[in-house]
Chains A and B, each alone.
Chain A
């Protein structure tokens, strides 16, 4: 069992739909990261959160430390949101990554 698991692995949505990507982790962490990797390969850090909820534009990230679960939501999805979304959990002096969720938003 991976220490950081994401679901779904692939997700296809129509423009405008509400998207949810889930991340469960088994390692003890102080904060969880959500990353976005564009088709060209570049990685952007979206959120780092240790409790509750954070919002940035149409993106919302939540975390439940007790349940070791985090979700990334995208409201009013757009084709430009198409990317791979990766959650990452720092553990001691290491960082463990989920396998990523490939999101495709169709116009």
Chain B
């Protein structure tokens, strides 16, 4: 158990819908990272937050957004969902830019 929690574990929704994925980092970790893992693209970095502020941005679509709240949990919002958004979404947390601890992931299926 990494200490990072993600909810929900599985999510099935339809094209055009909007979903919110939630991540609670390890106690004391200020950085939260979001990653997408799809079958055809592998793991891709989406975005990083540090202590509530956006720190780095990767291959995140405009339809996706994230935020980190004062209690340091983070949410990833995916809107206008397309079939190609079906993937595993991981969050990870770390102390600054050190070793990252990964959550169990949320499996999103868009039908």
Interfacial residues, chain A to chain B (CB-CB below 8 A): 33, 35, 41-45, 48, 86, 88, 90, 92-97, 99-100
Contact = CB atoms under 8 A, between A and B. Distances in A.
A51 B58 CA distance: 25
Interface of B: 2, 33, 35, 42-45, 48, 55-58, 88, 90, 92, 97-102, 104-105, 107
Contacts of A41: 88, 104-105, 107
Contact of A43 (B55, B97, B102): B102
Contact of A93 (B44, B56, B98, B104): B56
Given A90-B97, A93-B57, A97-B45, 11 more contacts: A35-B102, A41-B88, A41-B107, A43-B102, A44-B102, A45-B92, A45-B101, A95-B58, A96-B45, A97-B44, A100-B42
Contacts of A90: 97
Contact of A42 (B43, B57, B105): B105
A3 to B, nearest CB: 12
Contacts of B102: 35, 42-45
A94 B58 contact: yes
Contacts of B88: 41
Interface of A is mostly: strand
Contacts of A92: 56
A48 B100 CA distance: 9
A93 B55 contact: yes
Given A41-B107, A44-B102, A99 B55 contact: no
A33 B100 CA distance: 9
A97 B42 contact: yes
